[in-house]
Structure 1
């Protein structure tokens, strides 16, 4: 599966032939540099490592600095491996958006959702709350209610939906159509929404 690393720019809308407004996401996909080529003989599997985004020299460790110097490129912010690339690539090669994607095809986008901190059961799982303010309930509207049984089984089962940390998960959105490719700025316009905040890294696969 081949692809590129990109950065989520934001959202906009485009109109189709029928005049319908389509919500879409703008992604800067590339340019990416091949920082490592793994083979079955040397590494046990075939893969291509791509780098995207510029990293400051003072924030780069010496092992990583040597890794980038071997590829003949500057330090990169994000490194991602892609298996089963469509064509063989050489170390240090640069890939742009037109090398991988075309308008009209479908792609999968991987991103990290926004972190929302510690949330209750109403926001995290869509609970309805205990009920109204009748029968003396004045402070139970968004509470989880009862969480376990009585003398049997005398415990709370694992996996019960309760309050806790929400967001910050790796999520894949599949089968999003590429509506537009702008090669001058390495821009992809993809239908629908993708996980992550603005300027967050995403992985576009096909």
Structure 2
């Protein structure tokens, strides 16, 4: 089955392997998630399913969401996420089924998406790693961006020009991150390398 599961980033640490080398690792608290919706078939081969993560007080939900959870007699969740699965895997998926990290194994590779850490309004050097101008006394261009476009023709700045602006706070996906350790009792996953976002951020793990 195509894995799709939500979790949160706990923090980073380092783990020593059998050779004594330090490996940078990220600790994630993953699942359990519950199947909250199975939509109609998108194509002849795939169907969308929706999963919910982290229980929430029903008083904090809108009437439409609360009515849906009551209709199908499933708990209320704070986060919902949809992804597609093959139709031949539908026999293993039912409304209310709990998805956890039992399907994962140490040594396997997964993809992780999350929101990167926001760093506010940043200059073009920090944001795009541009070089600065000469720092000598005669230079009048230390950290200025310089020319940003042509003259009369076309007489405007093209969209997408790399300039100062909001840095971070965007969806970032990292592919092929290796699983180092799994603690099924506490739903803990240890991943080799870094994961987008700061501690406590919501992350989405999948293996497409």
2:95 aligned partner? 91
Over 6 Å off, 4+ runs: none
2:24 aligned partner? 23
1:3 aligned partner? 4
Q: Please report how far the alpha carbon of residue 136 of structure 1 lies from its aligned counterpart in structure 2 after TM superposition.
A: 5.2
CA displacement, residues 33-73 of structure 1 (integer Å, 9 cap, x when unaligned)? 111112318xx951221100122222100110122223433
On the 8 A contact 2:46/2:85 being kept in 1, the answer is no
Structure 1 residues 32 and 16, CA, compared in 2 at 3 Å: closer, same or farther? same
Gap runs ≥5 in structure 2: none
Structure 1 residues 145 and 19, CA, compared in 2 at 3 Å: closer, same or farther? same
On the 8 A contact 1:119/1:163 being kept in 2, the answer is yes
Structure 1 residues 71 and 190, CA, compared in 2 at 3 Å: closer, same or farther? farther
Q: Please report how far the alpha carbon of residue 126 of structure 1 lies from its aligned counterpart in structure 2 after TM superposition.
A: 0.8
> Aligned pair count?
201
Q: CA RMSD in A?
A: 2.0
TM-score, normalising length from structure 1? 0.89
The 5 Å alignment of 1:1-206 reads 1-40=2-41, 46-84=47-85, 88-98=92-102, 100-135=103-138, 137=140, 140-206=141-207
TM-score, normalising length from structure 2? 0.88
On the 8 A contact 1:8/1:200 being kept in 2, the answer is yes
On the 8 A contact 1:68/1:75 being kept in 2, the answer is yes
On the 8 A contact 1:13/1:24 being kept in 2, the answer is yes
On the 8 A contact 1:115/1:166 being kept in 2, the answer is yes
Q: Please report how far the alpha carbon of residue 147 of structure 1 lies from its aligned counterpart in structure 2 after TM superposition.
A: 1.6
**Partners of 1:18 and 1:71 in 2: CA distance:** 52
**Partners of 1:60 and 1:190 in 2: CA distance:** 33
Gap runs ≥5 in structure 1: none
